[in-house]
Copies of this chain bind each other. A is one copy, B any other.
């Protein structure tokens, strides 16, 4: 009951503390240490090298000297085909593709132009958010969906088939904007680690067939 929320942070400022007293465990909660054979070593930190090894005695605050100007530093510039496919997927109900889906979508879209997985990820994030705020805004001003940028139709009559290999359930097209709806685990990070996760899970194939889709404007 009488739980005082004792903040033990003392997060002052990291002026160089002579002895970085570690061992600051979170006082309140858990500290069970279930790990077998825990060597139990926490130690002081010598961050001598955390300063930039630049000999120059200054950290320039040169405006955006940080930006990557070297090749590949430009941002993704989607082609019409890519946008079209992405919008189809979006309209098809895809809201937050998981890692594998992202990978394969990107692989497909790479046929039409340079693209990476993160572009796909961001596109869905942004598109979802901006569709929502458009809707919200238009509901206020009652301007209606006059600002509907017609999605440029795919200029070919190719039937694109994206086969998504997934092991989570697909979320039915729940809605375009479902504020907070825990769905399923999906996080691009899973690429990052080894793929040797989830040992036994039969993989399902989701095949999204994308037909040219006459421009109906949206």
**A57 at the B interface (CB under 8 A):** no
**A45 at the B interface (CB under 8 A):** yes
Q: Which among B3, B45, B103, B171 is the interface contact of A208 at CB below 8 angstroms?
A: B45
Which of chain B's residues has its CB closest to A167's CB? B52
List residues of chain B with CB within 8 A of the CB of A72.
Answer: 196-198
> In the complex, which of the residues A6, A21, A24 has the most CB atoms of chain B within 10 Å of its own CB atom?
A24
A185-205 interface code vs B (CB 8 A; 1 in, 0 out)? 101111111001111111011
List residues of chain B with CB within 8 A of the CB of A46.
Answer: 206-211
**A9 at the B interface (CB under 8 A):** yes
- Chain A, range 94-131, C-beta contacts under 8 Å to B: 94, 99, 103, 112-113, 116-118, 121, 131
Number of copies: 2
> In the complex, which of the residues A71, A157, A199 has the most CB atoms of chain B within 10 Å of its own CB atom?
A71
Q: Which among B134, B172, B188 is the interface contact of A9 at CB below 8 angstroms?
A: B134
Which of chain B's residues has its CB closest to A185's CB? B68
Residues of A within 8 A of B (CB): 1, 3, 6-11, 13-14, 16-27, 29, 31, 33-35, 38-53, 59, 64, 66-68, 70-72, 77, 79-81, 83-85, 87-89, 91-94, 99, 103, 112-113, 116-118, 121, 131, 134-135, 138, 145-147, 149, 151-160, 167-185, 187-193, 196-202, 204-214
Please name 18 pairs of A and B residues whose Cβ atoms are closer than 8 Å in the assembled complex, sorted by A.
Answer: A1-B1, A1-B3, A7-B134, A11-B131, A27-B149, A33-B79, A35-B79, A39-B112, A40-B156, A45-B208, A47-B93, A53-B202, A59-B172, A66-B169, A68-B198, A72-B196, A116-B189, A191-B192
